[in-house]
Amino acid sequence: MELDFLPSPLEDRPGLMMRDPFHYSEMTLVVPPPLVPLLEMFDGEQTEEELREALFRMSGDLRSGEVMEHLRDALWQAGFLEGERLEELRAERERAFAEADTREAALAGGAYPDERGELGEWLKEQGVEAAGEDELLGIAAPHVSPEGGWASYTAAYRALSPALAEKVFVVLGTSHYGEPEKFGLTRKGFRTPFGEARTQAELAEWLAGRAKRASKMEDYCHAVEHSIEFQVVFLQALYGPEVKILPVLCGPFARSLYMGGAPEDDEGVREFLEALGELQAREGKRLCWVMGVDMAHMGRRYGDALPMEAATGAMLEVAARDKDRIGRLEEGDAGGFWELVQPNHDDLKWCGSAPLYTFLKAVPGARGRLRQYEQWNIDEQSVVTFGALEFRSAP
């Protein structure tokens, strides 16, 4: 269930596209429509004979065994089945990341230009600049693809002041594939087409030592996660390639969402939140917080029965509920915010709820202000919501 499944975008190859978001495997497979129902039989419980019989019932072709073997072998070689092949791919990729000196850009050349000059012009054309007149505690920006969220990205980063160049930016990003109740850390600098942002390894080490149970040092999720990478690119554009960062990936607070209680009822989470609070109390004058967060995820892509269209129909109610949650963020009310997230295991599917809650608990004096709110059809049937917030100290 860690694989990505989506309709094939290839006109000459319809079917279900399969790919590995962890990049343990770089292969992409397109399963033809007639074979898609067979995928659920690769559950570790069905025998090859049962699979062969099911395929024969579907096709009536005695040669169906060859098709089954081809499908099985393709899935195995791609690392899309549990077993030795996947374990080998996983071990190699995780070892390579752990031994690497830097965290290399994962999205350059795709979500944004991979050449330094072109990247600078691309951001400049959108009006990305530090235009704030005073210092903030931090900002919340999207992590959606910039093509869909320019207004919010620009609004968030324009809130920052040019005077923040020497700050350490604590970047709290959504960990889309990380373990629940865990925080992913790394000592590695983040390399982009601009150069290498300087991760403050001593602060990462301090957090890991102070909150051992919930910390995951050299978390492989950093290698593939976009929620922090996008923020680093914007920070480098504003403050130079060697901007100082402390990247932290926040896994979901699943225990709280599904079993009740506050996230910090988990002892590991509590320790990490307390450690971040200590860091803010001790180093607050040299820190600025950046959250890479999106909000609601609605529509077919995200498991909803009905398609969604931005800013119309059911998405108007979503906007109202989003604004209620944003209101709690503006008030700095971590508990009230979480009370709105918890019902129905967060049916709005805010993937940024964990970083936002983490920030409010670490910086309890923060008060927010919404600068921008948007809804974007990521495809024809699905919508992502996001925005820009600035945070200041309570008066």
Mean pLDDT taken over the chain = 94
Tell whether 173 and 318 lie within a shared domain.
yes
> End of a domain among 95, 116, 142?
95
- pLDDT tens-place string over residues 264-299: 999 999 999 999 999 999 999 999 999 999 999 999
Tell whether 134 and 22 lie within a shared domain.
no
**Domains of the chain: total:** 2
Tell whether 86 and 152 lie within a shared domain.
no
The predicted pLDDT at position 42 comes to: 85
Tell whether 107 and 91 lie within a shared domain.
no
In this structure, what DSSP letter does residue 323 have? Answer: H
Tell whether 229 and 167 lie within a shared domain.
yes
Tell whether 87 and 108 lie within a shared domain.
no
For 69, the domain range is: 4-95
Q: Which residues, including other chains, have CB under 8 Å from residue 200's CB and lie 6 or more apart?
A: 168, 244, 245, 246
- The CATH number linked to 182 is 3.40.830.10
pTM as predicted: 0.91
Tell whether 114 and 158 lie within a shared domain.
yes
Q: Which residues, including other chains, have CB under 8 Å from residue 125's CB and lie 6 or more apart?
A: none
Is residue 369 scored above 80 in pLDDT? yes
> End of a domain among 61, 95, 129?
95
Hey, is 179 helix, strand or coil? coil
Tell whether 129 and 72 lie within a shared domain.
no
The predicted pLDDT at position 59 comes to: 64
> End of a domain among 44, 76, 95?
95
Query: Helices (H), strands (E): how many in the chain?
Result: 13, 15
CA dihedral sign of residues 181, 187, 192, 194: positive
Please give the average per-residue pLDDT across 195-212, as a whole number: 98
